[in-house]
Amino acid sequence: MSTLILRAAPPERLDFLNINPLALSGLSQGEAERLEVGTTRTGVRLGECFSVSLDGADTLTIEGGHERLDRVGASLSAGTIRVTGDVGQRLGAGMAGGSLTVTGNAGPYAASGATGGTITIEGDAGDYAGGAVYAAKTGLDGATLIIRGTAGAHLGDRMRRGTIVAGAAGAFAGSRMIAGTLAALAVGDQPGLGMRRGTLVLGAHGRMAETFVETGAHDLVFLRLLATALRGLSPEHAALLDKPLRRYSGDLATIAKGEIWVAA
C-alpha cells in the first residue's frame, strides 16, 4: 500500500488529478516527490507537502486530508484511494472505475461526471455533490456516490445515470435531473426542481414545488428490486421502501417523467 502523509497545511490549493495508484506505480520515490501539484505561479511539489512512500500497489492512502486538496481521485480508472481527512472540490470527478473513500468532508462537485466506480464520503459533502460543473452536460453519470453525512444544495444536479445515497441533503436535491436514482433520508425545499426523468426516494422533504403532482400510493415490483439494490449500499435507505410510499410525478415544467417517492 502506497502512502502519502500530509506534513503541514498546503499553502495553496493542490490539484491531485495526476496522483493515483496507476500513475504512481511507474515512478521512483524521487520522481513522485517532484510531481507538480500546486496551482499558483509559485507552485508546490508533492514531496514538499507530503511524505511519500511507494510500493507499486494498486491502493493509495492519503493520511491527513485538507479542504485544499482538489480533484482527488479524478479520472480514476482502477485501484483504490483512501483519504483520512477532508478533501476539496471535484472529488472523483470524471472517475471511471475503482474505489474512493474519504473519511472526512468533501468540497463541492464531488463525483461530478463520474461514469463508474464507487465514491464514499463518510462526512458531509458540499453543494452540487453528484452535480454538474459549469458548462458540463451531466453530473453523476453512472458511478455510485454514498454520502453518510449531509450533502449541500443541488445534490445530483443534472445527474444522468448511477445512484446517489445521502444521509440528508439541502435544497434542490435532484434538480434538473436527467435520469438516475437518488435516495436520501431527508432533503430541503423543492426537491427535483426541473427534473426530466429519474427517481428520488425521500424520507422527508421541505416545500414540494407546485409542478409536482401526487399520483397516489403504489405497490410496484420495481420498488422491491430497488430496495434490494439499495440494501447493499445502505440498509437504512432500503428500509424507506418498506414503508407506505406516496408518489409524486414531475417536474411538469419539463417532460415530467421523473418521480419522487416519499416514505410516510
Residues forming the site for another protein (CB under 8 A): 7-13, 38-44, 48-49, 67-68, 70, 89, 108-109, 133-135, 137, 158, 172, 175-176, 190, 193-194, 207, 209-211, 251-254, 256
Distance CA 44, CA 8 (A): 12
If the CB atoms of residues 133 and 227 are measured against another protein, the closer one turns out to be 133
Which is nearer to another protein, 223 or 259 (by Cβ)? Answer: 259
Question: What are the Cα distances from residue 168, in Å, to 156, 185, 188?
Answer: 13, 6, 8
Closest CA to 159 of 147, 177, 172, 183: 177
Q: Least distance in Å: CB of 254 to another protein? A: 7
Smaller CB separation from another protein, 26 or 134: 134
Smallest distance, Å, CB 50 to another protein? 9
Q: How far is the CB of 69 from another protein (least distance, A)?
A: 13
Looking at the Cβ atoms of 141 and 251, the one nearer to another protein is 251
| 183: enclosing H helix or E strand | strand 181-186
Q: Extract the C-alpha cell encoding 210.
A: 407546485
* CB 70, CB 100: distance < 8 Å: no
Largest CA distance in the chain: 64
Could you tell me the smallest distance in angstroms from the CB atom of residue 96 to another protein? 22
Beta carbon of residue 225, minimum distance to another protein (angstroms, whole number): 29
Burial of 39 (0-12, 13-18, 19+ CB in 10 A): middle
- For another protein, give the closer residue by CB, 3 or 101: 3
